[in-house]
A and B are shown apart, each in its own frame.
Chain A
Amino acid sequence: MTPVALVTRHTQALLGALGRLARAPLATVLTLLVIGLALALPAALGMLVRNAESATGRLGRAVDMSVYLRSSVPIERARQLAIEARAVHGVARVQVISAAAGLRQFRKYSGFGAALDALPSNPLPNVLRVVPQPRSSGAVALEQLQRTFARWPEVSMVQLDAQWVMRFDAMLAVLHRLVSIAAILFGAGVLAVIGNTIRLEILNRRAEIEVTKLVGGSNAFVRRPFLYTGMIYGLGGALLAWLVLEGAVLDLRAPVAHLAQLYGSAFTLSGLQGRELAALLGGGIVLGWLGAWISAHRHLRGIEPRA
């Protein structure tokens, strides 16, 4: 067969499948809806995890340590210590917050200005704000850094909250696993829905299939339109899932941004990225094809012409 003829018959099969779906719009839409929602759920979960990761990624980079010096340590010594701290392995930046600057900030943000005025002297110590390098912001590295600074004689206390970073990492690992499980379960559901839809379609067109085989139609020829039907269902469902997700992201973006802002983050929710969208659409097509193929393989065998 020439390439032109091959393209022609595939085009015929595709157009035929589209035509049949268009002639039963209600049934088609309902099937697409089921497939779309089944695909949307794992995709939404995956998107959620990715957003959570990127949100905490930014927070992770923002993890820093407050190294409180003893109140007897003067600001000159504090500046010297900052230079030494910069040389410590894993440290990105060190900022000196002098007792005076600390007091100004506290006065500005705490609302206790009047009470502070009543104090005879500044109760705050000089503080080094240590920002670790991104690759040292894992929980273990942070704790190591914390111990290093705690051993310095001028340091009274190092404040670090690494526990939540570890917990969050563990939670994300659980969520990742959950995404995989959901993808497998709902993928199997999509396979079943498409397989069953194709099975009914095959039974409905039994007479036509018989006649086609009678005049010399091969199994591949008979199967082809059903495979296209399956792929159209898969792609249509995936596009629907994408729409659902985009709608949800649009609706959630403002409240999430507000929430992030309250945590002092500029994080915004992002929808499916190029590669994720490609995976969703591609996954839909593959599931549709596979479901149709399994169903066609099982049910077309039984239909042999009996003249």
Chain B
Amino acid sequence: MIQFERVSKRYPNGREALSNVGFFVGRGELVFITGRSGAGKSTLLKLIALLERPSRGTVSVNGHSIGALQARHIPAFRRQIGMVFQDHKLLADRPVFDNVALPLVVAGAPLKEIDKRVRAALDQVGLLGKERMLPVELSVGEQQRVGIARAIVGKPPIIVADEPTGNLDPDLALEVMRLFKRFSEVGVTVLVATHDLHVVREFVGREITLANGQLTAGGVDPLPSLVASR
């Protein structure tokens, strides 16, 4: 589903965030990307969502190299990926419903379907009934779940989450991770970047570890089909 081949990313300021990283993630896998802050976890996720382009190497999503994707095709590509952020990036002046509905609205979904799917997504994260509230009226954990609902509402085949539990206490963090586990069980490929090793150890999931931009564990799998069926 996601393949990195000898991928390096050097930022304009000269810092090399990733060097020569290669790995494969199969469909329906739940993969944790761990490492200290600054190890390159966020950069790795940004490369998948085309928020950044690699300096060298090839990133493939769903069997296609995304390096040559033209700018006008990027929006449609991003709709295939649900993104969750540590600061959740909700629109503060819009109610929960509008926030969650945004990916469907930009995709041009019919209103009836939007209504149905937003409620379904909110139901999955346990926030049904809070559609009309503003993000600031919710707790931090609830805001994060709104962000997750927004990521899954378009039923993307891939979810990437960058430190989704960074601001949450351990109980809430576990709850959020359980959600990701559930998504992976229904066939969604989930990549979660986190430095929260306690939470990771609670789950049966593959762990890719980065240190100073280099892959130190859980990298290229010689038999990706085995991984996919694990």
User: In residues 144-191 of chain B, which contact A (Cβ within 8 Å)?
Assistant: 150, 154, 162
Task: Name the segment of A49-57, A179-187, A214-222 touching the other chain.
Answer: A214-222
Distance from A228 Cβ to chain B, minimum over Cβ atoms (Å): 15
A211 and B75 contact, CB distance less than 8 A: no
A307 and B106 contact, CB distance less than 8 A: no
Contacts known (A4-B110, A6-B108, A306-B51); A218 close to B75, Cβ less than 8 A: yes
Residue with the highest number of chain B CB atoms closer than 10 Å, among A4, A5, A8, A216: A216
B102 and A212 contact, CB distance less than 8 A: yes
Distance from B117 Cβ to chain A, minimum over Cβ atoms (Å): 14
Q: Given A5, A12, A214, A218, which contacts B89 in the complex, CB threshold below 8 Å?
A: A214
A208 interfacial contact with B, CB 8 Å: yes
A86 interfacial contact with B, CB 8 Å: no
Q: Name 24 A/B residue pairs within 8 A (Cβ), A-sorted.
A: A2-B110, A5-B110, A6-B108, A12-B105, A210-B89, A211-B102, A212-B106, A213-B78, A214-B49, A214-B51, A215-B78, A215-B102, A215-B103, A215-B106, A215-B154, A216-B75, A216-B78, A216-B154, A217-B102, A218-B72, A218-B76, A304-B51, A305-B51, A307-B85
B128 interfacial contact with A, CB 8 Å: no
Size of the chain B interface, CB-CB below 8 angstroms = 28
A residues less than 8 Å from B107 (CB atoms): 216
B133 interfacial contact with A, CB 8 Å: no
Distance from B109 Cβ to chain A, minimum over Cβ atoms (Å): 7
B105 and A307 contact, CB distance less than 8 A: no
B91 interfacial contact with A, CB 8 Å: yes
B197 interfacial contact with A, CB 8 Å: no
B79 and A307 contact, CB distance less than 8 A: no
In the complex, which residue of chain A has the Cβ closest to the Cβ of B150?
Answer: A215
A297 interfacial contact with B, CB 8 Å: no
Distance from A221 Cβ to chain B, minimum over Cβ atoms (Å): 5
A307 and B162 contact, CB distance less than 8 A: yes
The CA of A216 and the CA of B75, in the complex, are separated in Å by 4
B217 interfacial contact with A, CB 8 Å: no
B69 interfacial contact with A, CB 8 Å: no
B103 and A307 contact, CB distance less than 8 A: no
In the complex, which residue of chain B has the Cβ closest to the Cβ of A9?
Answer: B108
The CA of A90 and the CA of B87, in the complex, are separated in Å by 86
Distance from A22 Cβ to chain B, minimum over Cβ atoms (Å): 15
In the complex, which residue of chain A has the Cβ closest to the Cβ of B99?
Answer: A211
CB-CB nearest 7 A-B residue pairs: A216-B79, A217-B106, A216-B78, A218-B75, A215-B103, A1-B108, A5-B108
In the complex, which residue of chain A has the Cβ closest to the Cβ of B156?
Answer: A216
Q: Given A2, A6, A221, A304, which contacts B106 in the complex, CB threshold below 8 Å?
A: A221
Q: Given B75, B85, B103, B111, which contacts A8 in the complex, CB threshold below 8 Å?
A: B111
